[in-house]
Amino acid sequence: MPAISASASGKIILFGEHAVVYGRPAIAAPVEQVRARVVVTAEPRRRLGSVLIQTPDLGGQAYLDELPQDDPLGLAMRLTLEHLGVSRPPACTLWVSSTIPIAAGLGSGAAISVALCRAFAEFLGAELPAETVSDLAFEVDRIHHGTPSGIDNTVIAYAQPIFFVRGQPIQLLQPASQFTLIIGDTGVRSPTAAAVGDLRKAWQADPERYEPLFDAAAEIAIRARGWIESGQVQRLGALMDENHVLLCEMGVSSAELDRLVEAARAAGAWGAKLSGGGRGGNMLALAPPERTAAIAESLRQHGATRTITTTVRAHKPPQ
Ligand code: PMV
């Protein structure tokens, strides 16, 4: 049997992070330049049920039945087995790799779960629809992180830009024209769960202060959807700037993020903001195509450890 593989891209949140946890809408898009990949190889010489997971990037390997219950890779596999009603899978080795930076707001955890569920299910003879893969990846995130909104698993499983509201059916976005984003990494690793948990405590202590910030972020996401779907992409810049101010007020920015956001604007970006959990991780700038290289260069000069330039493509109606 030939090896089976599946991959999933990273993602970036364009608008509405954090507020999305509180039921407000957010917008996210896939980032194709970074990917998680899983290859499954049958091991007919090993006993039934023997599943070996190799993670060369992390320098490790383990058998599924040795992994702790809350290990995210183990969870993704157990949930897939449970979903398919398989108790003892044929012996196999899963090789898991990823070029998505960890704890940087690019969806590395969800992408690994999505690729893992897809590849493992296919090895077991099932092709899972995007909705199921998204649900399984959400379950992994939920057990592992507490209160995720579900935006990461959704945009990654569907591999298309989305307008996302927690608990509501998926709304795929149809950009009328393409636009270019530059992602700058502060190099500061910042687990999303910590920023989400701290904001939750602050909100619980003073909801009157935070609710209006979430409402303002919701309005921005709704306006942004309009500009994206009508192709007036330059106007998204001002909305990014506004959204960044709100995120600062929510207490999830950092000196490094603010510095990169400022640098991007000074180098000619139409707008810029932090993206994802904040406190570190990545920021995002919207750039006129002719300024992309200069903005990326300026971000690196101002301390970005890595930049990724990505294009959100225009939606092509099916022929
Ligand atoms: O740090 P990221 O990109 O995984 O994004 C987290 C987005 C939050 O809104 C902060 C949390 C969530 O679950 O939606």
By the 8 A CB rule, do 244 and 252 touch?
no
Q: Last residue of some domain: 171, 189, 220? A: 171
Q: Is the CB of 273 under 6 A from ligand 1?
A: no
**Within this chain, do residues 95 and 238 fall inside the same structural domain, yes or no?**
no
Query: Residue 194's CB: how many other CB atoms inside 10 A?
Result: 12
Is position 19 within any domain?
Answer: yes
**Within this chain, do residues 165 and 259 fall inside the same structural domain, yes or no?**
no
Q: Is the CB of 109 under 6 A from ligand 1?
A: no
**Within this chain, do residues 161 and 15 fall inside the same structural domain, yes or no?**
yes
Mean of the pLDDT values across residues 200-213? 98
Q: Read off the pLDDT band of 130 (50, 70, 90).
A: very high
Q: Last residue of some domain: 171, 187, 203? A: 171
Q: Is 152 a catalytic residue?
A: yes
Among the options 152, 206, 241, 258, which is catalytic? 152
**Within this chain, do residues 122 and 149 fall inside the same structural domain, yes or no?**
yes
Probe ligand 1: pick from 31, 151, 199, max atoms within 8 Å of CB? Answer: 151
Number of domains in the chain: 2
Residue 303 has pLDDT above 90, yes or no: yes
107: left (phi over 0), alpha (psi -120 to 50) or beta: left
Atom of ligand 1 nearest to the CA of 105: 3
Tell me the pLDDT tens digit for each residue of 131-166. Answer: 999 999 999 988 877 778 899 999 999 999 999 999
Atom of ligand 1 nearest to the CA of 11: 3
What's the CA-to-centroid distance between 16 and ligand 1, angstroms?
9
Distances (CA, A) of 201 to 23, 204, 210: 17, 5, 11
pTM reported for the whole predicted model: 0.93
Q: Which contacts (CB < 8 Å, 24+ apart) does range 126-131 have? A: 126/84, 128/80, 128/83, 130/157, 130/158, 130/159, 131/157, 131/170
Distance CA(11)–CA(231), nearest Å, equals 21
Tell me the pLDDT tens digit for each residue of 240-278. Answer: 999 999 999 999 999 999 999 999 999 999 999 999 999
Give the mean pLDDT of the chain.
94
Mean of the pLDDT values across residues 275-292? 94
